[in-house]
């Protein structure tokens, strides 16, 4: 299956590539990727200081999530995330301070604003995929024009939830884009040990809809492919499975040590395909990016990240009741006993 690519690693466009992002949008996409990378680094630092929870860095995969999110209409489309799609969430309207609040374990600080159409960040692999298909089907049954994009990784595609959701999506022609980020690893399991198939995308036609493979480190190709899938879903033609070929440049999460299983030579190959560098080179060639522009952008982003961290940390820490607040409409006697016992042990 052909891998769709628009940008060479030196930032030049391939012959025949039809970019669907304006120069202004390309600059915005670059800034979004740089913001995500800066927030990633700050989060890593905070986690090592004990001020942040375990999280999955997005470094190296920014174009996959930024490019795809830029194909959506935040006023009517929905995002159903897994846990590594920070650039997509930010573009869709989720505040950076809420992202920091989520991984600090503070539900109040992480609350999704009412006007942001996204489901909560999901840690359990693949369980969000059936939800996304149900949401998409529901939007169509209500006569609404919104579509749903569901993010998940190559590891999640080995779960039964993925196959069950694909089957239903194909049958009802749900307006959903199934966006599989193939970053090379399911924690420490390489993709070649996960599937005997040449691609993950080839599973799409077996469920009655297209499967596409795209260079996930190419902002323009990802955007164009996703936009086509969005337009197809909005026209009532059903789902598309997109496999974005990218690479996880950091650990699976901050609890992982990739030096134990990642070949440095393989990593070096992917470093040359860095998604941020490619867009910077493209814009430099067009006279839209230089050292001064980068310096200004980096300073603005640093301030934005500082402000988001400070805002997240101003929220009161969660209390014992927060563990039980949204579990049931009415707590069972057993859960009340657990809550009361924990409250006695944890000072308020």
What's the pLDDT tens digit per position in 170-215?
999 999 999 999 999 999 999 889 889 999 999 999 999 999 999 9
Count Cβ atoms below 10 Å from residue 2 Cβ, excluding itself: 8
- Residue in 92, 117, 245, 248 annotated catalytic: 248
| Options 203, 223, 252, 315, the catalytic residue | 252
Is the sign of the CA dihedral 95, 301, 314, 105 positive or negative? positive
Count of CB atoms situated within 10 Å of the CB of 125? 19
**Is residue 252 annotated as part of the catalytic site, yes or no?**
yes
Identify the pLDDT of residue 348. 57
Helices 128-141 and 160-172: crossing angle in degrees, nearest 10, is 10
Q: 261 catalytic, yes or no?
A: yes
Q: What is the reported pLDDT for 186?
A: 92
- Is-catalytic flag, 248? yes
The pTM assigned to this predicted structure is 0.95
**Assigned fold of 3-317:** Rossmann fold (3.40.50)
Q: How far apart are CA 333 and CA 341, in angstroms?
A: 12
Residues carrying CATH 3.40.50.970, the chain: 3-317
Chain centre to alpha carbon of residue 242: 13
Instruction: Please give the pLDDT value at position 1.
Output: 86
Mean pLDDT score across all residues of the chain: 96
Distance of CA 202 to the CA centre of its chain: 22
Q: How far apart are CA 212 and CA 179, in angstroms?
A: 10
Active-site entry in 48, 76, 261, 336: 261
């Amino acid at each position: 299956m052909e891998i769709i690519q628009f940008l060479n690693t030196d930032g030049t466009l391939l012959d025949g590539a039809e970019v669907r992002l304006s120069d202004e949008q390309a600059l915005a996409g670059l800034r979004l990727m740089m913001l995500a990378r800066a927030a990633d680094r700050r989060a890593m630092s905070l986690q090592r200081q004990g001020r942040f929870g375990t999280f999955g860095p997005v470094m190296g995969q920014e174009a996959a999530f930024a490019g795809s999110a830029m194909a959506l209409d935040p006023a009517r489309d929905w995002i159903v995330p897994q846990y590594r799609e920070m650039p997509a969430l930010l573009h869709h309207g989720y505040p950076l301070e809420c992202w920091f609040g989520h991984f600090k374990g503070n539900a109040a600080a992480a609350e999704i604003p009412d006007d942001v159409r996204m489901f909560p960040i999901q840690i359990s692999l693949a369980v969000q995929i059936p939800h996304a298909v149900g949401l998409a089907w529901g939007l169509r049954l209500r006569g609404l024009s919104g579509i749903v994009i569901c993010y998940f990784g190559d590891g999640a595609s080995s779960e039964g939830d993925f196959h069950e959701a694909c089957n239903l999506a194909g049958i009802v022609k749900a307006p959903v884009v199934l966006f599989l980020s193939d970053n090379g690893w399911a924690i420490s399991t390489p993709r070649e040990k996960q599937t005997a198939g040449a691609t993950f995308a080839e599973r799409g036609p077996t469920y009655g809809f297209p499967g596409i493979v795209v260079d996930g480190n190419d902002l323009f190709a990802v955007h164009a492919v996703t936009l086509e899938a969005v337009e197809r879903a909005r026209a009532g033609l059903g789902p598309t499975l997109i496999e974005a070929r990218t690479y996880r440049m950091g650990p699976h999460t901050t609890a992982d040590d990739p030096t134990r299983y990642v070949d440095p030579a393989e990593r070096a190959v992917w470093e040359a395909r860095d998604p941020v560098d490619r867009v910077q080179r493209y814009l430099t060639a067009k006279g839209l990016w230089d050292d001064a522009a980068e310096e200004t952008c980096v300073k603005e982003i640093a301030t934005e990240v500082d402000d988001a961290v400070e805002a997240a940390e101003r929220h009161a820490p969660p209390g014992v009741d927060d563990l039980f607040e949204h579990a049931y409409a009415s707590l069972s006697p057993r859960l009340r006993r657990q809550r009361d016992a924990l409250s006695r042990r944890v000072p308020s």
